[in-house]
Structure 1
Amino acid sequence: MKFKFAHNNINVLDLEKSLNFYEEALGLKETRRIVPEDGSFIIVYLGDSETSHLLELTWLSDWDHPYDLGDNEFHLAFTVDNYEAAYKKHKEMGCICFENPTMGIYFINDPDGYWLEVVPQR
């Protein structure tokens, strides 16, 4: 038996705001979308065009308040080929929420407060 990562899911409050953020901050593009007839939810899969791993954004029509992320002790990590340029871009976007210069990494947060780690390609 062999398992392979397919996707990670996060729920979002404002789908368009999140789609814009993930494209601008990380270059993720929509690969497919699921919209049921009753409109109760929308699922959008985002890809990086480099790997098969997807990020699933789920929007629920009856959810009208920010998600409780608890202690927010989980995150997704992204490697980047030009760390300095990425850092500059994220600094200009105002989305850097934590820096660890000793480890050579930093975190950005998305519109819903999820943390995303940025790591230089090694």
Structure 2
Amino acid sequence: MSQTATAEKPATAPQATPFRMLHTMLRVLDLEKSLDFYVNKMGMRLLRRQDYPGGEFTLAFVGYGDEKDQAVIELTHNWGQKEPYTIGSGYGHIAIGVPDIYGLCERLQSAGVKIPRPPGPMKHGGSVIAFVEDPDGYKVELIEKK
């Protein structure tokens, strides 16, 4: 018997499941700029990178830990793409927990990263958050986790 989640009553999490979040894929215009953002500015590691000459694309996987343990981001670069991708109205953001949001945003801003929502408390109390943009305009929410 399964339970349905409602606004008043969340569904009970299953005891064990064979499912696990693996990755989120983002199409990027300039792979090197995207790798610079996620690896050098956001502190992720380049976990693997593979060119597919037959399909004319490259996949690069970045993250904070090994793919066997954590969800990661797949950056897909289609070699023939000349114009930036349209993000669309369905995409929201990636969220990353960080220990010092103010210090990180200061470093990101100094490195030229756009910060459309500087760090500060959420409107209805609670967490300190900020939003930054990667080179393709994808929003990344930073949530301070001490």
Which shows bigger deviation, 89-98 or 9-18? 89-98
Aligned to 2:92: 74
Q: Does the aligned pair in 2 maintain the 1:106–1:119 contact within 8 Å?
A: yes
Deviation at 1:88, TM superposition (A): 1.4
Residue 96 of structure 1 corresponds to 115
Q: Which structure is higher in helix share?
A: 1
1:53 lines up with 2:71 in the alignment: yes
Which stretches in structure 2 are left out of the alignment for 5+ residues? 1-16, 123-127
Aligned partner of 1:110 in structure 2 is 134
Distance 1:114 1:60, change over 3 A: same
In 1, Cα distance between equivalents of 2:131 and 2:35: 18
Who wins on radius of gyration, i.e. which is larger?
A: 2
Match of 1:28 in 2: 44
Partner of 2:103: 85
Between the two proteins, the alignment pairs up a number of residues equal to 122
CA contact (8 A) 2:132 2:139 kept: yes
Q: Cα gap change, 1:55/1:49 in structure 2, threshold over 3 Å: closer, same or farther?
A: same
Identity %: 31
Q: TM-score, normalised by structure 1?
A: 0.88
Amino acid at match of 2:141: E
TM-score where L is the length of structure 2: 0.75
Query: Match of 1:101, SS?
Result: strand
* Root mean square deviation, CA, Å: 1.9
